[in-house]
Amino acid sequence: MTARLADLLTDPRRPRPGILHLGPGAFFRAHLAVYTDGALRAKGGAWGIEVAGLRDAATARQFTAQDGCFTLLVRDGTDTRAQVLGPVLRGVAPDDIPARMAAPEIRIVTLTVTEKAYGLDPESGGLDPTHPAIAADLTNRAPPRSAVGLIAAGLAARRDAGVPPFTPLSCDNLAGNGHLLRRLVLDFAAHRDPALAEWIATEVPFPSTMVDRITPASTPATRADARRLTGMDDPLAVETEPFLQWVIEDRFAQGRPDWDRAGALFVQDVAPYEAMKLRMLNGTHSLLAWLGLAAGHEFVRDAIADPVIAGAARSHLQAAARTLASVPGVDPGAYAEALLERFRNRAIAHRLDQIAMDGTQKLPPRILSPAAEMLAKGGDTDSFARVTAGWVWHAAQHEPLRDPRADEIRARLAGVPRDPASLTAALMALPGLFPPALRDNADWNRQVAGHVAVLTGGAA
Ligand code: CS2
């Protein structure tokens, strides 16, 4: 290849590495990479990014083959703009992750690995020792493969070498993602070496973050448009919406890029922002996905154009907003309207089945926590029951079901009568998924089953 994407970079200076990123998928490329690119342009600093997949080596290899450069398409509904970004320096093979985590120049380890990669036991809020990657890492003496195991081992290597810790920074859609990652890493470390857990507890900050940018999986159309606009073929091209947001707790062991120069907001406590985004944006996304698929739609933009589903989305945004503390500088009504506008973006082909997957991981922070809080306040849980029913129906009949607990779900549903109450009862009994306050509440069960009946036209 004579022409290189790197030749299209508007700023060809490459920084020294400072960040190791785990999970270099589309969301990373449209979000963290964009903020880091902006921070480096504005202020510079040794904050270049190295990227690694936990299991998939191919994407990291492709980054190396492209000098770390990739094309970002921003689709605003009328226009598509292309930009070549260069904050990524190279890819790292899975086997080389431990060595890079031990390298003193790496001062932040960022993660976009999706909810299911964390190994969270929803019942205890701690580490799930039966999670396949975690179980393997707890028994093997070989280098770890799970994100949590790698972080614990990386921090151990630094402590042993007298190197200050890196800051682990979760950028996944989990409530209290920093607190949660801390708890999981401490649980893992305690299994290996209690003194390590103590050292991590005192020396290592785990800031929480709220991340937001709607980024569908890339398709052949993404690659074709990137080629048309840049003249280069780019297998790493991604497409996204104009909107982006990042709120970060400002607690770092060894500094951080000036992400605020690219629009990120540094705060003391990210929890109110995170709850708002998870419950309003992601909760309504899940509603659109499960109810939209049940109504035969394929994309978010189609589901939101369906008046019945749009009405349900609107009332869900209000129901979710009623569970939230106020967020500095944000008007919930305006936030809800802006979300609806984003969902309506016709240029974004966001597949409902992409959002519908991994329901057992997405339901708790998006739907079940606010539902349980609402119930405790004696408030109306109807909208949360409707979304839950959407998931029940999806889990009962979608093939193949993409969920880390799909086998367990199939086993529980085998032989269960296909009526709404029986399907609801079977899934409500999945260990650890539903908070007991919901699971054991007859009204809630009836409410969910009632909505399953609506979805199925009365007969499942
Ligand atoms: C979506 C999110 O796939 C999903 O579950 O709800 O990926 C959503 O698009 C992002 O969180 C938006 O920031």
Give the residue whose CA is nearest to atom 10 of ligand 1: 214
Instruction: Report CA(173)–ligand 1 centroid distance (Å).
Output: 8
Q: Which of 177, 282, 293 should be mutated for ligand 1, with most atoms under 8 A from CB? A: 282
Instruction: Report CA(279)–ligand 1 centroid distance (Å).
Output: 11
Whole-model pTM? 0.97
Instruction: Report CA(285)–ligand 1 centroid distance (Å).
Output: 7
Quote the CA–CA distance of 137 and 146 in Å, as a whole number: 7
Instruction: Report CA(389)–ligand 1 centroid distance (Å).
Output: 20
* Positions of the chain with pLDDT under 70: 1-2, 458-460
Q: Which of 438, 416, 431 is nearest to 371 (CA)?
A: 438
- Beta-carbon contacts of 46 under 8 Å, excluding residues fewer than 6 positions away, are 15, 16, 17, 18, 105
Q: Which amino acid is it at 226?
A: A
Q: Three-state SS for 233? A: coil
User: Can you give the pLDDT at residue 393?
Assistant: 98
- Beta-carbon contacts of 311 under 8 Å, excluding residues fewer than 6 positions away, are none
User: Can you give the pLDDT at residue 458?
Assistant: 52
- CA 274 from centre of chain: 12
User: Can you give the pLDDT at residue 11?
Assistant: 78
Instruction: Report CA(382)–ligand 1 centroid distance (Å).
Output: 23
- Beta-carbon contacts of 240 under 8 Å, excluding residues fewer than 6 positions away, are 26, 30, 72, 73, 74, 75, 213, 214, 215, 216, 348
Is the distance from CB of 324 to CB of 332 less than 8 angstroms? Answer: yes
User: Can you give the pLDDT at residue 459?
Assistant: 45
Phi, psi of 251 (to 5 degrees): -135, 100
Quote the CA–CA distance of 447 and 442 in Å, as a whole number: 9
Beta strand extents in 31-189 (DSSP E only): 48-52, 70-75, 80-85, 88-91, 108-111, 167-170
φ/ψ bin of 75: left (φ > 0), alpha (ψ from -120 to 50), beta (otherwise): beta
All structural domains of the chain with their residue ranges: 2-267, 271-456
User: Can you give the pLDDT at residue 245?
Assistant: 98
Is the distance from CB of 192 to CB of 200 less than 8 angstroms? Answer: no
Q: Is any atom of ligand 1 closer than 6 Å to the C-beta of 282?
A: yes
Instruction: Report CA(216)–ligand 1 centroid distance (Å).
Output: 9
- Beta-carbon contacts of 458 under 8 Å, excluding residues fewer than 6 positions away, are none
- Strand arrangement of the beta sheet that strand 17-22 belongs to: 88-91, 48-52, 17-22, 108-111, 167-170
Give the residue whose CA is nearest to atom 1 of ligand 1: 355
C-alpha dist (Å) from residue 89 to 13, 306, 330: 11, 44, 36
Q: Is any atom of ligand 1 closer than 6 Å to the C-beta of 90?
A: no
Give the residue whose CA is nearest to atom 11 of ligand 1: 212
C-alpha dist (Å) from residue 287 to 175, 276, 308, 370: 18, 16, 12, 14
CATH of domain 2-267: 3.40.50.720
User: Can you give the pLDDT at residue 457?
Assistant: 81
Q: Which of 280, 285, 402 should be mutated for ligand 1, with most atoms under 8 A from CB? A: 285
Q: Which fold has domain 271-456?
A: N-(1-d-carboxylethyl)-l-norvaline Dehydrogenase; domain 2 (1.10.1040)
Give the residue whose CA is nearest to atom 13 of ligand 1: 212
